[in-house]
Each structure stands twice: as structure tokens, then as C-alpha cells.
Amino acid sequence: MDERAALALVGAELDAAGDDCAVLDGTVVSTDMLHETTDFPAGTTRYTAGWRAVGASLSDVAAMGASATAAVAVYAAPTFEGAELRDFLRGAREVCETVGGEYVGGDLDGHDEFTVATTALGATEDPVLRSGAEPGDALCVTGTLGRSAAALRLFGTDDERANDLFRFEPRVRAGVALAPHATAMLDSSDGLARSLHQLAEASGCGFAVEGDRVPVADAVEETADGADDAREMALHFGEDFELVFATPDPEAAAGASPTPVTRVGAVTESGVRLDGDPLPDRGYTH
């Protein structure tokens, strides 16, 4: 079976699983694994790898509207170089500090491919699930989309800029601020289009997106080959780790959030549509 079917099987077997994090008595937990071949293009520094791997799990914490408490990682590599390991730890620590959490360590493992497994912990008494969106709610996103897609095109020609783009800020503070306003939320790690299909399925609703309202990262304009390509990068590529949420009061949500919030559409009864046309469930499968 493919990964999505397998994830559905896991969700059916385990009560606590299913959203961006597992939830347990006020604690949320998310775990991820990233690999050199699929997640760290040539040119990615270990500093960026540590930041991004830990950041991906922190983004799941953010998507639950939880504060970040701690993160750990397993660093698996064929060899252990002191400088690389220090850079990795610095990235892991700094991304935690950015969101008010603590990087508390982890483990090392000999492995033929550079691989990082991360786990982040968060705290909330009232997690925001994917399942509460109601027709009539506004559909909003934080920040801009397409950063990671643009970064991938810059690796090899401008590694420094690509690394900068790859080190995203997990939206933990925004998630906490948005939690009282959001009826459903997730992060855009699979791309906006796929994220909306996931929200629609969990909430039993649809979405109408207005294409010209979707906030696109500056780097997309610079690296895209025309408008269609830019749209693909912003809507489908994913790995942006912005928050996608529904809210009955988008002004209040925007006012509460430390990260800019853009209303990109509305929750509808059914169907995921972009400017009236079906928006395909196509994106990044991790």
C-alpha cells in the first residue's frame, strides 16, 4: 500500500494518532524522519539540517496550537565529524530557542545514509484538531508559501541563500495565539492543496480558495519559470511549514498572531476549489 493508505491504517489502529501530533493528557508529541537523499539536497549544511529536522517536528506542535517544550533527535550518519555534529546541534538548539523550547539531546547512530529522526513535545490543554472547520469560516494561512520549492532551485547556484530559505521559523508562537480562534488547523508541510484536502476530509467540509489571495514567497517569483510554475510551487510543492486554518473571525485571528495572516478563501460545504475549479489533491508525500 502507499504511504497515505498506510497512515490511514495507523490512524485506524491508534486512538491517539491522526492529527499533526499525538495527544496525551495535555502533552502533544510529534516524530519525523528525514533523509539525505529525499530531504537534504547537496549543499545543505548540517546547521541547516539540524534546524530543519527539528523545526519540522516543532511545526507539528505549532499546528496543534501547543507551546513547544522540548525536542530530541537521533543523528545517524556513516561517520561522525566533530564540526558537522556541532553545527547540527547548533541548528537544532537555535530552532528550539526561536520558539521557546529546549533542545535536550538525543542519540547517535551509525548508518549508511545521513538520516535524522526528531521528536518534539508541546503542551496544551485544548489542542486544535483538523476536524472542526465549519462552512462559513474563513480559510487563512500564515506567512508565505513556496520558500522550500524556491530553495531547492537555488541549491547548487546559491547555497547560502538556499540554506537561509530552508531554515524556516516554526509557527509555534502563531499557533498558540491562533488556537482560541481556529476551528481546525494543520501545517502546510504537504503543500497547501493537499493540506486542504486533508482538512476537508477531517472536517467533512470543502474549501473555496481565491488564487490571487495566496501569499507567495518573494523567492518563488525569482526562481519560477512563469506564472503557472509559480502557482505549482506555492500550491503543491509543500514543505513550507506554514499554518493553514479555518476561523470564524479572521480579523481577530490576524490581530492575535505574531506572524502575518492572510485570508485566502472560505470553508464551504464540499469540494476543494481554486477560483471555482477543482484543486487537485496533489502534493508532497513524505
Binding interface with its own copies (CB under 8 A): 1-3, 5-7, 9-11, 13-14, 16-18, 22-25, 27, 29-33, 35, 38, 69-70, 72-74, 76, 80-82, 85-86, 89, 93, 102-113, 115, 117, 119, 121, 286
CB of 243 to its own copies, least distance (A): 19
Considering the complex, state which of residue 35 and residue 263 has its C-beta at the smaller distance from its own copies.
35
Q: How far is CA 129 from CA 31, 103, 133, 163, 174, in A?
A: 17, 25, 9, 31, 15
Considering the complex, state which of residue 22 and residue 208 has its C-beta at the smaller distance from its own copies.
22
CB 183: neighbour CB atoms within 10 A?
A: 19
Does the CA dihedral 11-111-96-42 come out positive or negative? negative
Helix ranges, 233-280 (H): 250-256
CB of 49 to its own copies, least distance (A): 15
| 103 marked as part of a ligand binding site | no
Supply φ then ψ for residue 120, to 5 degrees: -120, 145
Considering the complex, state which of residue 120 and residue 165 has its C-beta at the smaller distance from its own copies.
120
CB of 204 to its own copies, least distance (A): 22
| 281 marked as part of a ligand binding site | no
| 218 marked as part of a ligand binding site | no
Label residue 80 exposed, middle or buried (CB < 10 Å: 0-12, 13-18, 19+): exposed
What whole-number distance in Å separates Cα of residue 169 and Cα of residue 171?
6
Three cell numbers written together for 163: 540554506
Considering the complex, state which of residue 263 and residue 286 has its C-beta at the smaller distance from its own copies.
286
Three cell numbers written together for 95: 530552532
CB of 64 to its own copies, least distance (A): 13
| 107 marked as part of a ligand binding site | yes
| 31 marked as part of a ligand binding site | yes
- List residues forming the annotated binding site for ATP: 106-107, 130, 189
